[in-house]
Structure 1
Amino acid sequence: MIGGAKMTTNDIKPFFDKVQLRMDTNIKIALPSSKGYDIYEMYDPGLEMDPKINLIGIFENRSFTYFNNDAYYHSRKNMSGVLIRSANRQLLLVNYTFETQEDYTNELRYKETDTFQKYDFQLFMKLKEIHEFHYNTTLRSWWFGNSTIGLEGGISQLLYENTADISSSGGILRPGRMHYYDHYVPSYKFRTCFFFKNPGVVEERTDVLKPFALNTWYVTISSIIIMGVAIKAAYWAEHKYLNSPSRYSLFTAFVLTIAIFAQQGSAIIPRHTGGRIIFLTLLILSILVYNYYTSSLVSSLLSTKPPAIHTIKQLYESDLKVGIEYQPYTLTYIYQEKNNYYIQKLNSNKIYDPEPNFFLLKRVSPKTFEQDYICDLVQIDFLTPGFVSFMAPKKSQYKELFQISLLKMMQNGIFNREENIWVEKQPKCLSDLRVVSVDGNALFVVYMILVIGIVLATIILLIEIVWYKADIKKTFEYTN
C-alpha cells in the first residue's frame, strides 16, 4: 500500500529508486490481484540498462505457483544491451599482421603461442553467445602485480578496484587470492615445467658379463672345462679302442666345446654313443644359457630407467643448459620465490648466464617429435600445478549467473571441444613402435673380444708352425 492506495507495477520502480540494485538482487514483490497476489522480482542487469521487473509466479489458495522452477537463471539469462567490462592480458603481436588482439586470439594458425589465453577467450565468447551481452576489454601487460596476491598491478588491480566485471583470460588459483577475487569453475589444470631428453634413459651395456651374476659365470666356465675334458677323453677312447685314425689335442677339444657352446656347431662328430651324448648335453646347456643371456640383454635395452634428473636441485647441478619462455607467470614466479634456494641459484647461474636465456616454443619442435624423443622426454615441474579459472571482483553480481553457464558448458562438452581445438595434447609414448639404437659404446667389449680372439689365434698359429717345423726336423734327423 502506498498512501492508502493499492500498489501497482508502475509504482515499483519509483519505490526502489534510491536502492542500489544488482544482477543478483533477490527482491520479491507481491501485488494484489483478483485471485490473490502476483509475485514479481526486481533486479538491475548492469551497465547501460534500467532495472527490470518480471512476473515470476502467483499466490492463491494459500499456495505459491512459480512459472519456472529455474526462475533466477532463466529470468536473468538474456543480458541483451548489458555492457560487461572485461580485462585481458596484452599479447605481443609483433610477428603477426592482425589489426586487433581479438583477431589474433581467434586465429587457429598460431594456436601454439599464447594457447591457454586463446582457449580461455573462446570460453568467454561462449558466455557472450549464451547471454548476448556486449563487452569492452581493458588490456594490461601483466596478470598480477609483483606479489603473491598481485593487487597492485595488472588485470588483478582492475578486478580489485571493481573497474572490470570479469577477466576474459584465466588466472591461477592460489589460497591467498581467494580473499580478494571471486573465482568461477576451473577451466583446466595449469602446469609449467622444464622438459628435456633424458640423457640416461636407455642403459648402455658396456659390460657383456652383466646379464649373469659372477657365480653363474663361474658355474658356466666350470661346465665348459669339464665338457672339454670329457670330449678329449671321448676322442682318446675312440683312437685307442675303436681304431679311429684321428688324434685330437686337448686344445682342439676346448675349441670344439666353445664353438658348440656359442651355437656354432662342430665339424667333428664322435663315432660312439658316449661321445655323442656329451655333445647333445653340451648343446642343450648352450641353448638354455644362450636364451637366458639374450633375453636379459634385450630386456635391459628395451627397458627404461627412472628419470636421471627429476628435481630442480638435480637440474641445477647437471650440465644441461636451462632456458625459459618469455611468459609473465614464469618471470613473476622467479621473482616471488626468493626463499627457494635452488630456484634462485638456477635463475642466477643458468637462466641468466649472463644474459637471460629465453627459448621459443619452436625450438622444441612439438609437432615433429619422433617416437624415441617422445619416450625419452623428462618433465620437472617449475610452478606448483594449480587450477585456472576466470576471475571477478569479490562479491561479483555476475558470479552466480556466469557460474551456472560455465557449469552447463562443462557438462555439455564445450570445455572439452575447445580444448581439443586449441590445446595440443602431449604425444604418447608407444613403446611397441620404439626402436632402440645400440651404439658402439655398448658393443665395445664384444669387439674387444673379437680382436683378442684374432690376436690369440694368430699367436697360436705361429706356435703351431714353429712346433710343426721343429717336429719335422727332429723326425728327419732321427731317420738319418
Structure 2
Amino acid sequence: MIVYQGKPEEFRPEIILERDVAPGISMVTQTSGMILNELATIHNINFNYSICDRWVGDYKRESPNAVTNSLYFKEIDITPTLRFLPSHMDYYDVIHQYVTYAEGKYFYRIPTTGVGKFENQFLTPFTRDVWFTAIGVITLCGFGLLLSAKLENRPKSGHYAFFSVVALSCQQFFEDIDDGVVKRNSTARKLTILVTGVSCVLIFNYYTSSVVSWLLNGPPPSINSLWELMDSPLEPIFEDVGYTWSWLQLPDYYYNKKNARAEDVLKKRIKKKGNLILTSPMKGVEMVRTGAYAFHCDANSANKYIAKTFTPKELCDLDSLPSFEKALLYTSVQKNSPYREFFIWSYARITEQGIMKLIQSRTYPRVMTCEGSSPRALALGGATPAFIMLAIGYVAGTFIMFMERILKAHEHKKLAN
C-alpha cells in the first residue's frame, strides 16, 4: 500500500519509478518505492498495489483507510515507508534499515513590510560595562566643569555644568554666552569641555559603527517560532499529503510535540476561518514566491522545485521555519510478519552493494542557498528605540523651554516690583 493523494481513475505503479515528482505521490514514497522495486527485480517478486490517502490512522474499523490501519487489520503485507513511532509499535513492525527521511518546514519569503520585530538594537550595541564607563566619564566631566564654574563664581554654575555636558553629549557645539557678553573660558573649563567633546565624539563614532555593522552583517529578520509565524502577515498553507491529513484530523498527532500548544492554536484558527489551502509542492512553491504565504512541505519536495524556479535574488529572500525534525522512514510490515526477516536480510545486502545509497542520491535534490549576502533592511521595529529617544528629546526640550520662559517672566516681575 502506498499513499496517493486524490482518486486516480487508473493507478500506474510505474509513476513511482519516475525521476520527477509525480502528481499525488510524495518524494519519500518514490524513494522507498524504487528501493522495493529493486528488491523485486533481484528476487523476482511481484507487488499488488493498493492506495490510500494517509499513513497514520487511529486503528478503528469505522475510520478512514490508512496505512497503519491496513497493516494492523492484515489487509496488506508491506508498505514502502512509515515513521518509527514508539507508541505504534504494538500495531506493526519496521525493517530496521531506514530507506529515506522526511523533514518538514514552513517555507516563506522574508516579509519586507510591516513594523518588524522589536529588536532594540539602538539601545544595545554596547555591553553594560561600556555604557557604565561612558556615563562615568560624562559624570566626571560634568563634576569638573561644575568645580571650574564654582571657582569663577559663575551664577547658576550647576545648571551651566549639567546642560553643557548634556549639549555636548547630544553633539551640539555651543558658544558660552552670558547676558549677551561672550566670556573667556578658564583653562580648566576649556580642558574639561575638550575632553567631554572628544569622549562624546568617540562614543558616537563607535556607536554608529556598531549599529551599521549589525545592519549589514546581522541575520535577516527571520521567523523563529510557530507563534511568530501566526503573528506574521503570512498565511500558512500545507502540502496535500498524508501526514497533513493525519495532523488535521487526529487530536494527538503533532509535527513536533515541543510545539503542541502552538499547533493546537493553529489548528483551531484554520478550522475557525475555514480557508484551509492544501496544494502540491509545485503550486505551493509558486505561492511562496508571491510573498504572501508560508508553505508547510517536506523539505526534499520543496527544494526540488525551489532549485528549478527561484532566482539568486529570490533565494536570498527565502527562509524556512523547521516544523518537524528529520525523521527516518522505514519499510513496515504486519506485526509478526513472516516476510520481516527476508526484507531485513535483503536490505542489508543492497546496502552493502551501494544500491540503497545510489537510489537515495538520485531522488534527493540539491539544496539551493543564497550565494553571498544582501544588506539587511531596517524595519520600523528595529528603529523604534531611536524614534522613542527622539520624541523624549523633543518633549524634554519643549518642557525646558517653557520652564525657562516662566522663570524669566518671574524674574522680570520681581525686578519690576
Alignment TM-score > 0.5, same fold: yes
Provide the residue aligned with 2:332 in structure 1: 391
Kept in 2: contact 1:173–1:389 (CA 8 A) = yes
Kept in 2: contact 1:182–1:391 (CA 8 A) = yes
1:447 partner SS: helix
Map Cα deviations across residues 416-474 of structure 1 (whole Å, 9 max, x no partner).
Answer: 513433xx6485898x656141425343224325644775798699899999xx9xxx9
Deviation at 1:328, TM superposition (A): 2.3
Provide the residue aligned with 1:53 in structure 2: none
Which residue, out of 268, 277, 286, partners 1:349? 268
324-333 or 210-219, which deviates more: 210-219
1:435 partner SS: coil
Alignment of 1:72-471 (within 5 A): 87-92=1-6, 100=12, 102-103=14-15, 106=18, 108=20, 114-127=26-39, 131=42, 133=44, 135-144=46-55, 146-147=57-58, 153-155=65-67, 166-167=78-79, 169-175=80-86, 176-177=88-89, 180-192=92-104, 202-205=117-120, 216=132, 219=136, 222-223=139-140, 225-229=142-146, 257-263=165-171, 274-287=188-201, 289-290=203-204, 302=218, 309=225, 324-338=238-252, 342=261, 345-346=264-265, 349-353=268-272, 355=274, 357-360=276-279, 361=281, 362=284, 363-365=287-289, 367=306, 371=316, 374=319, 377-381=320-324, 386-393=327-334, 394-396=337-339, 398-408=342-352, 413-414=357-358, 416-421=360-365, 425=367, 433=374, 435-439=376-380, 441-449=384-392, 451-452=394-395, 455=398
1:285 partner SS: helix
Q: Which runs of 5+ in 2 are unaligned?
A: 177-182, 255-259, 290-301
2:49 partner SS: strand
Kept in 2: contact 1:123–1:415 (CA 8 A) = yes
Kept in 1: contact 2:102–2:328 (CA 8 A) = yes
Map Cα deviations across residues 92-118 of structure 1 (whole Å, 9 max, x no partner).
Answer: 388xx9994634762527699723223
* Alpha-carbon separation, structure 2, partners of 1:208 and 1:157: 57
**Matched letter for residue 386 of structure 2:** L
Deviation at 1:388, TM superposition (A): 0.7
Q: Which has the higher helix share?
A: 2
Map Cα deviations across residues 161-184 of structure 1 (whole Å, 9 max, x no partner).
Answer: 8776643x3122233347644525
Kept in 1: contact 2:171–2:201 (CA 8 A) = yes
Kept in 1: contact 2:5–2:240 (CA 8 A) = no
Provide the residue aligned with 1:8 in structure 2: none
Q: With CA pairs under 8 Å and 6+ residues apart, which has the higher RCO, 1 or 2?
A: 2
Deviation at 1:357, TM superposition (A): 1.8
Deviation at 1:271, TM superposition (A): 7.7
Alignment of 1:18-37 (within 5 A): none
Provide the residue aligned with 2:293 in structure 1: none
Provide the residue aligned with 2:296 in structure 1: none
TM-score between the two structures when normalised by the length of structure 1: 0.53
Deviation at 1:186, TM superposition (A): 0.7
* Alpha-carbon separation, structure 2, partners of 1:116 and 1:288: 58
Deviation at 1:354, TM superposition (A): 5.3
* Alpha-carbon separation, structure 2, partners of 1:98 and 1:398: 31
Map Cα deviations across residues 116-160 of structure 1 (whole Å, 9 max, x no partner).
Answer: 22333343444456x274745413124557325999944456666
**Matched letter for residue 338 of structure 2:** K
Map Cα deviations across residues 188-241 of structure 1 (whole Å, 9 max, x no partner).
Answer: 34344667779998543398599687994864663453354367579x69xx9x
State percent identity of aligned pairs: 11
**Matched letter for residue 169 of structure 2:** F
Deviation at 1:390, TM superposition (A): 1.9
Q: Which runs of 5+ in 1 are unaligned?
A: 1-86, 241-248, 475-480
2:328 partner SS: strand
Map Cα deviations across residues 2-22 of structure 1 (whole Å, 9 max, x no partner).
Answer: xxxxxxxxxxxxxxxxxxxxx
Map Cα deviations across residues 226-280 of structure 1 (whole Å, 9 max, x no partner).
Answer: 354367579x69xx9xxxxxxxx99787666445434566678978754443244
* Alpha-carbon separation, structure 2, partners of 1:109 and 1:334: 24
Kept in 1: contact 2:97–2:344 (CA 8 A) = no
Kept in 2: contact 1:122–1:418 (CA 8 A) = no
* Alpha-carbon separation, structure 2, partners of 1:434 and 1:148: 53
Kept in 2: contact 1:324–1:358 (CA 8 A) = yes
Deviation at 1:316, TM superposition (A): 9.1
When residues 92 and 277 of structure 1 are mapped into structure 2, their CA distance, relative to the original with a 3 A threshold, is same
When residues 285 and 112 of structure 1 are mapped into structure 2, their CA distance, relative to the original with a 3 A threshold, is farther
* Alpha-carbon separation, structure 1, partners of 2:70 and 2:221: 49
* Alpha-carbon separation, structure 1, partners of 2:353 and 2:27: 20
When residues 364 and 329 of structure 1 are mapped into structure 2, their CA distance, relative to the original with a 3 A threshold, is same
When residues 297 and 200 of structure 1 are mapped into structure 2, their CA distance, relative to the original with a 3 A threshold, is same
Deviation at 1:299, TM superposition (A): 8.2
Kept in 2: contact 1:230–1:278 (CA 8 A) = no
1:349 partner SS: helix
1:171 partner SS: strand
**Matched letter for residue 205 of structure 1:** N
When residues 413 and 233 of structure 1 are mapped into structure 2, their CA distance, relative to the original with a 3 A threshold, is farther
